[in-house]
């Protein structure tokens, strides 16, 4: 096919058709150029208005340029069908698919020219590139796709969808609206479908993957309709396209599902370090190759579980490691193993969960947690047959020797705002392993409804420990599961309050500060004696704050003069026996580690030896810091004294 396309493009009529398209669409090109010039004018004349500059750049990337793409795409064939020119084109001695392809590439060339001009403008306009690079999503999207990439993908996506259906109506605005509705609607459905799969498999296809699948479905349906359908009969044409489109979409969904599943077990897993925990001075991490332990004292990585694993998640406590694994493709073929932290005495706790007589049959298991003494294990299970969002999970708990498996359904529907099932996860063991702390997060709506519950498995009762939880997304628990930290919104005041909960005594310590308007990351020290958190008062004022539990007060605070993206891409951990901090940060594709002394002053800055585009998670082990290269699935360690880097794990 590609050879045929190549030949088609070499034919003399290609040049003529290409020029014809340029001539006919030159007004759109000029319109885009004028808009880009106006944007640049606004941008350059408002050099002190950062918000306006960001807003205008965002609008250009996510709204205007995709709109130009829609205009161009929808103009593909609508005029031909309005003027009856399609009969003229179809009666020429040229294959119909060639007409489609030539037109598509001609208009695509116009679109690329406009995008190229915008990219060039980005390069030469002072400050524009930096602004575009700093644009981020409100939350959690950054690993999926960057802002600028999403803008470019939207351009291609909308262009293709609009072009593919441009022969469906003689009215351009109908094509544009239909493209937006159909394109975004289908993408949303597919994205949700794959997001749902993520419950069982480690990777979802993501927007970058979904856009091409939907677009390819439309292209295929459009070309085949062009080649086979009777264009003199509108109803037949639409029916033909719809049937083909539905068929290709089903194939796409199948392919994307297969891709997702395959990437979960094969492709994606090669590049994934699933979990990394530090525990009692060592680091433990899991990959598809097994479970590993890094011993900083001898600077060595040991393989403590040699079996190949699928989506292995680990939990450590009381000298034992709990880890999960999928035995087969099915969701109910999960295994749960426990072993000593040196890899000895491995025991399968759950190996035949899919058997009909098993208590775990037809449950998808998640949120595994071993107790701090290593004697108990708890996890949740979503019923597979009712895995729709209306179902509540079951709580399972058992001894870590494999005995005493018990289960009970968790139904919190009586709690306000939880008439429908919420996302539920186990946060920690509390009260010396007798009770469990469970987080209840609404699936939609305000996160302020998030609650923390204390659940007693023995008595099958629960009580609400805290409400209006605003973050962080993953509630930080100290290494020994002694303390839990979270922010909640005070009902009387606007500000948020940091709460430190003693998981043994259930005592709460509340820390209120004026600048806790938008609190960020929290990290417990290894000994659980203090925490550091990032606090954002407004868009230009960030503070690192250290609180000591023993002294019951804030012992240090430091304003960070960084660019705006700082809090979104900064991760940190304690190093040098909890005396110093290591911060991982990325700017302009370059990553570095900053070591802050006990007064939070920058002591040194160490460049990271690989290109970094994601937020850099940092794990501290005394004078060693660990960082993952997410692109390659490699683990690096740096000696913070000698600044010597070494790759300690690679796929």
Partner 1 sequence: MSEILKMQNLNKRFGRKIVLKNFSMALEEGKVYGLLGKNGEGKTTLIRMIMGVIPADSGEMFYKDKKINFNDSSYKKQIGYIPEDPFFFSWMTIKELLDFNSSFYPSWNFRKAMDYSERFSLDKKTKIKHLSRGMKLKLGLIAALASEPQLLILDDPTSGLDVPTRQDFLKDIVRELSDAGTTILFSTHLVHELERIVEHLSILHGGHLILDDDYERVKDLTRRVRMTFEDSLPEQIEMGGILSELKKGNRMEMVIYPWDVEKERKLNMFSPLRLEVEPLSLEEIFVSFVS
Which of 25, 53, 96, 530 contacts partner 1 by CB under 8 A? 96
Q: 88 vs 188, which CB is nearer to partner 1?
A: 88
517 touching partner 1, by CB under 8 A = no
84 touching partner 1, by CB under 8 A = yes
646 touching partner 1, by CB under 8 A = no
Which of 9, 20, 182, 407 contacts partner 1 by CB under 8 A? 20
Distance CA 299, CA 285 (A): 15
518 touching partner 1, by CB under 8 A = no
173 touching partner 1, by CB under 8 A = no
Query: DSSP H helical segments within 286-329, as ranges?
Result: none
Q: 102 vs 382, which CB is nearer to partner 1?
A: 102
Which of 4, 59, 63, 88 contacts partner 1 by CB under 8 A? 88
**How many residues bind partner 1, per CB under 8 A?**
29
92 touching partner 1, by CB under 8 A = yes
Which of 4, 95, 539, 632 contacts partner 1 by CB under 8 A? 95
Identify whether 51 is preceded by a cis peptide bond (ω within 30 of 0).
no
CA atoms within 13 A on the CB side of 330: 11
Q: 26 vs 34, which CB is nearer to partner 1?
A: 26
Q: Segment contacting partner 1 (CB under 8 A): 77-85, 141-149, 248-256, 629-637?
A: 77-85
Distance CA 114, CA 129 (A): 17
30 touching partner 1, by CB under 8 A = no
Residues 228-267 that bind partner 1 (CB under 8 A): 228-233
Work out the number of other CB atoms within 10 angstroms of the CB of residue 227: 12
| Least distance in angstroms from the C-beta of 98 to partner 1 | 8
User: Tokens 């695509």 appear where?
Assistant: 108
User: Tokens 């063991």 appear where?
Assistant: 429
DSSP track, 624-651: EEEEEETTTTEEEEEETTTTEEEEEE--
Q: Segment contacting partner 1 (CB under 8 A): 6-14, 207-215, 387-395, 414-422?
A: 6-14
| Least distance in angstroms from the C-beta of 79 to partner 1 | 10
Q: 85 vs 258, which CB is nearer to partner 1?
A: 85
Distance CA 363, CA 379 (A): 11
91 touching partner 1, by CB under 8 A = yes
| Least distance in angstroms from the C-beta of 19 to partner 1 | 9
82 touching partner 1, by CB under 8 A = no
Q: 20 vs 441, which CB is nearer to partner 1?
A: 20
What are the distances in angstroms from CA 277 to CA 317, 334, 373? 11, 22, 17
22 touching partner 1, by CB under 8 A = no
Q: 87 vs 250, which CB is nearer to partner 1?
A: 87
| Least distance in angstroms from the C-beta of 29 to partner 1 | 15
Q: Segment contacting partner 1 (CB under 8 A): 7-15, 146-154, 244-252, 500-508?
A: 7-15
Tally the residues of the chain.
Answer: 651
DSSP run (H or E) holding 367: strand 363-370
Q: 228 vs 270, which CB is nearer to partner 1?
A: 228
140 touching partner 1, by CB under 8 A = no
Distance CA 646, CA 99 (A): 56
Which of 63, 227, 246, 348 contacts partner 1 by CB under 8 A? 227
589 touching partner 1, by CB under 8 A = no
Q: 97 vs 592, which CB is nearer to partner 1?
A: 97
DSSP track, 14-59: HHHHHHHHHHHHHHHHHHHHHHHHHHHHHHHHTTT-HHHHHHHHHH
23 touching partner 1, by CB under 8 A = yes
Contacts of 19 (CB under 8 A, 6+ apart): none
Nearest to 185 by CA among 222, 158, 220: 158
Distance CA 193, CA 205 (A): 10
User: Tokens 């880890």 appear where?
Assistant: 323
Contacts of 544 (CB under 8 A, 6+ apart): 532, 533, 534, 535, 556, 557, 558, 560, 581, 596, 600
24 touching partner 1, by CB under 8 A = yes
126 touching partner 1, by CB under 8 A = no
Distance CA 535, CA 545 (A): 7
> Which positions lie near partner 1, rule CB under 8 A?
11-13, 15-16, 20, 23-24, 83-88, 90-97, 227-233
């Amino acid at each position: 096919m590609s050879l045929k396309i190549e030949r088609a493009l070499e034919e003399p009529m290609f040049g003529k058709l290409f020029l014809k398209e340029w001539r006919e669409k030159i007004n759109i090109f000029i319109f885009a150029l004028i808009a880009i010039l106006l944007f640049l004018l606004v941008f350059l004349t408002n050099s002190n208005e950062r918000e306006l500059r960001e807003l205008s750049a965002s609008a250009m990337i996510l709204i205007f340029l995709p709109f130009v793409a829609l205009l161009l795409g929808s103009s593909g064939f609508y005029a031909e069908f309005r003027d009856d020119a399609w009969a003229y084109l179809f009666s020429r001695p040229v294959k119909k698919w060639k007409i489609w392809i030539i037109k598509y590439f001609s208009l695509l060339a116009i679109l690329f020219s406009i995008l190229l001009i915008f990219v060039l403008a980005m390069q030469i306009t002072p400050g524009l590139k930096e602004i575009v690079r700093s644009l981020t999503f409100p939350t959690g999207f950054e690993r999926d796709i960057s802002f600028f990439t999403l803008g470019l993908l939207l351009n291609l996506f909308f262009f293709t969808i609009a072009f593919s259906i441009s022969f469906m109506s003689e009215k351009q605005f109908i094509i544009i609206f239909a493209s937006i509705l159909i394109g975004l609607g289908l993408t949303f459905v597919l994205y949700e479908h794959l997001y749902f799969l993520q419950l069982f498999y480690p990777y979802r296809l993501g927007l970058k993957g979904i856009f091409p699948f939907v677009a390819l479905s439309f292209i295929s349906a459009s070309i085949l309709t062009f080649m086979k359908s009777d264009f003199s009969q509108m109803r037949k044409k639409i029916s033909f396209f719809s049937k083909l489109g539905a068929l290709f979409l089903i194939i796409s969904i199948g392919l994307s599902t297969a891709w997702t599943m395959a990437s979960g077990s094969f492709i994606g897993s090669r590049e994934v370090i699933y979990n990394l925990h530090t525990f009692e001075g060592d680091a433990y991490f899991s990959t598809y190759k097994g479970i590993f332990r890094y011993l900083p004292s001898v600077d060595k990585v040991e393989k403590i579980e040699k079996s190949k694993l699928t989506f292995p998640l680990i939990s450590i406590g009381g000298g034992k490691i709990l880890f999960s694994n999928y035995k087969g493709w099915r969701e109910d073929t999960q295994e749960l193993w426990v072993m000593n932290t040196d890899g000895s005495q491995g025991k399968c706790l759950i190996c035949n969960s899919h058997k009909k007589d098993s208590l775990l049959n037809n449950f998808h298991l998640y949120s595994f947690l071993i107790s701090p003494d290593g004697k108990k294990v708890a996890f949740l299970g979503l019923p597979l047959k009712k895995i729709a969002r209306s179902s509540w999970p079951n709580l399972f708990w058992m001894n870590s020797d494999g005995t005493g498996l018990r289960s009970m359904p968790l139904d919190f529907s009586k709690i306000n705002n939880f008439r429908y099932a919420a996302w539920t996860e186990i946060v920690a063991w509390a009260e010396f392993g007798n009770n469990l702390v469970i987080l209840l997060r609404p699936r939609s709506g305000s996160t302020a409804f998030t609650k923390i519950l204390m659940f007693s498995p023995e008595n099958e009762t629960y009580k609400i420990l805290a409400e209006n939880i605003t973050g962080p997304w993953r509630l930080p628990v100290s290494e020994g599961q002694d303390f839990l930290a979270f922010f909640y919104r005070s009902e009387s005041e606007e500000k948020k309050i940091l709460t430190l909960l003693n998981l043994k005594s259930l005592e709460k310590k509340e820390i209120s500060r004026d600048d806790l308007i938008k609190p960020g990351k929290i990290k417990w020290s290894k000994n659980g004696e203090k925490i550091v958190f990032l606090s954002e008062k407004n868009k230009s004022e960030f503070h690192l704050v250290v609180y000591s539990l023993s002294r019951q007060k804030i012992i240090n605070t430091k304003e960070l003069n960084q660019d705006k993206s700082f809090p979104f891409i900064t991760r940190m951990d304690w190093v040098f026996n909890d005396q110093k901090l290591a911060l991982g940060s990325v700017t302009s594709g370059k990553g570095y580690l900053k070591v802050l002394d006990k007064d939070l002053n920058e002591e040194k800055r160490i460049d990271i030896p690989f290109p970094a585009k994601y937020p850099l998670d940092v794990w501290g082990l005394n004078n060693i810091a660990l960082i993952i290269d997410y692109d390659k699935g490699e683990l690096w360690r740096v000696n913070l004294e000698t600044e010597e880097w070494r790759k300690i794990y690679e796929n």
